[in-house]
Chains A and B, each alone.
Chain A
Amino acid sequence: MNLSYRVYYIFIRNLYSYKRFIVPTFLVSLIEPLFYLVTFGIGMGAYIGYFGGKPYLYFLVPGVLVSSVMLTSSFECLYGTFVKIIHEKLYDSLIATPVSAEDAVAGDIAWGAFRGMISGTLMMAVAMVMGVMPASLPSVLLLLLLMILVGVMFASLAMIVTSFAPSFDFFNYYTELVITPMLFFSGVFFPLDKFPGWMKTLSEFMPLTHAVKISRAVYSGAYDSGLIWSLLVIVVLEAVAFAIGLKTMKRRLIK
């Protein structure tokens, strides 16, 4: 693997280009959580009432927060990166400079994770304005770290998909068959205890389930030892996906 500090230059390049999209993306990042929190949180929450002694929103917010990181990081490294490879041929010019293919791909993964973190942070800010507070200040900092961790994981997974994508349509398989099911099977909107055994087992294989568990624990400040396993799942999957993503993208870029 030929990685160097030049990853940072690709991140900076993305930051430059982001200047033009910053207003619309911030608006989307604000409106999307509001949509979730208002419809599910207030609408459905009124029926559900209290969850473990706290309003439903306290259950919902940590789950929606990591899902929003997942969606933003994934889309950035699916559509965003694909456009840069195929339509703009940007990668062709990058790899002709001292920036290696690995630097460029890692830079886009870092960028995807950063975008995810921004979405998650805006979501958290909205929740806090609505009175749904994390347990403490360290919780807030830990949540930011978690967002980066989750962002890099989903950005890397998306990068693997992009490295095999012949066209945009290919992404539908991933978003419809992997991303969307995860939203519903990972305990974002409701607890998983009432699921039959096989569905519980299935959800254990979904990285978002583990991200939601950790997020919820950090948000409420109620930790348990099971979280170590969840953290391990995320870190291992992240490292593997990152390494594979770099490898398969390099194979696509260098012929």
Chain B
Amino acid sequence: MKILVSARDLRKNYGSLTAVDGIAFEIREGECFGFLGPNGAGKTTTVKMIHCVSPVTSGTLIVNGLPAHINNRALKKMTGIIPQEITLDVDLTVYENLIIFSKFFDIPKREARKRIAELLKFVELEAKRDSKISELSTGMKRRLLVARALLNQPKLIVADEPTTGLDPQARHLIWQRLRQLKSEGATLILTTQYMEEAQQLCDRIVVMYQGKILKEGVPSKLVADEIGREVVEVRVPKEEDDRVVAQLSEYASGHERVGDTLYFYCRDGQGLMRKLVELDLHNYLTRPATLEDVFLKLTGRSLIE
């Protein structure tokens, strides 16, 4: 499969701060590739370098065979951006936002009109065509950002936390549209803090933390490799850790203490649960392992400031 984006020893400094610290990755054509990480991990900076709005400090970053560079209009022309912040033109209506943006891409007016009609339908905003931006809900604004990102029929779509602040309905609609675009052949780059979003959309992900890539892989395989199938959360006082762990560790592939909870990572939680009952410990919870566990295991469960 063709490689669309490849980075080697990619670095980005803002003054003395290192935002991206020598990372390497490859994104294949037609896949959905996710950058996961807590705030300040370097996800947004990385995608900004990919879509040519932030200069690379050092290393190589090749997109569609061309070096990513802020003056690379050819790359900007083939890329659609769904930004993290709502950057709609508040002085213009919904339709005007799209028609003006289509000019920026040199799309002829007739073609632009046709595409806008299709896109407003695609994001279910036909009724809002002549509304002002201030009259839209957050979900509608985000959908309009999706429509705007698709005007130039991009080969590469970069979605930077596209569902932040949305209710479940609006979030699912965005997910469906993104999956639809991928099925139509677009390559998708997604940054997110929502593990469910990554599991829903991504073929492969990297977990970033403090400017570095900690892990790379297929979401379900990462969960299986790093955590197992199930997680048992046991709430016991910290003083009893030694005793409880000694009794239970043979049933788990790993454990971790955070705050008031002991987390046990298991292939199969049955054995551990039987043992818990024997030990007369009833304050526990068993659930399937998720990407969130991988994420928290890799980046630490305590609060990152």
Contact = CB atoms under 8 A, between A and B. Distances in A.
Contact of A88 (B52, B83, B89): B89
Interface residues of B, number: 31
Interface string A71-108: 00000000000000000111011111111110000000
Interface string B260-280: 000000000000000000000
Contacts of B73: 4, 98, 100
A251 to B, nearest CB: 11
Nearest to A96: B81
B104 A98 contact: yes
B66 to A, nearest CB: 14
Given A20-B91, A254-B70, A98 B100 contact: no
B101 interface: yes
B87 A100 contact: no
A92 B79 CA distance: 15
B53 interface: yes
A9 B101 CA distance: 9
A214 B83 CA distance: 48
Contact of A100 (B54, B55, B71, B100): B71
Contacts of A89: 85-87
B131 to A, nearest CB: 14
Contact of B103 (A4, A9, A92): A9
A225 interface: no
A17 B14 contact: no
Nearest to B133: A88
A255 B54 contact: yes
A252 interface: no
B83 A2 contact: no
A213 B302 CA distance: 69
Which residue, A20, A88, A100, A101, has most C-beta atoms of chain B within 10 A? A88
Contacts of B71: 2, 100
Nearest to B14: A255
B77 interface: yes
B73 to A, nearest CB: 4
B151 to A, nearest CB: 9
A254 B101 contact: no
Interface residues on A, range: 20 to 34
B241 interface: no
A97 B71 CA distance: 11
A12 interface: yes
A97 B87 contact: no
Contact of A94 (B85, B90, B104): B104
Nearest to A101: B70
Contacts of A96: 51-53, 76, 79, 81, 83
A17 B70 CA distance: 27
A35 interface: no
A90 B53 CA distance: 14
Which residue, B53, B76, B83, B152, has most C-beta atoms of chain A within 10 A? B53
Contacts of B104: 6, 9, 94, 97-99
A95 B79 CA distance: 12
Contacts of A94: 104
A229 interface: no
A82 to B, nearest CB: 14
B83 A93 contact: yes
15 contacts: A9-B104, A12-B100, A16-B96, A88-B90, A90-B87, A92-B87, A93-B81, A93-B88, A93-B148, A94-B104, A96-B76, A98-B73, A98-B77, A99-B104, A255-B14
3 smallest beta-carbon distances between A and B, as pairs: A17-B91, A93-B87, A97-B104
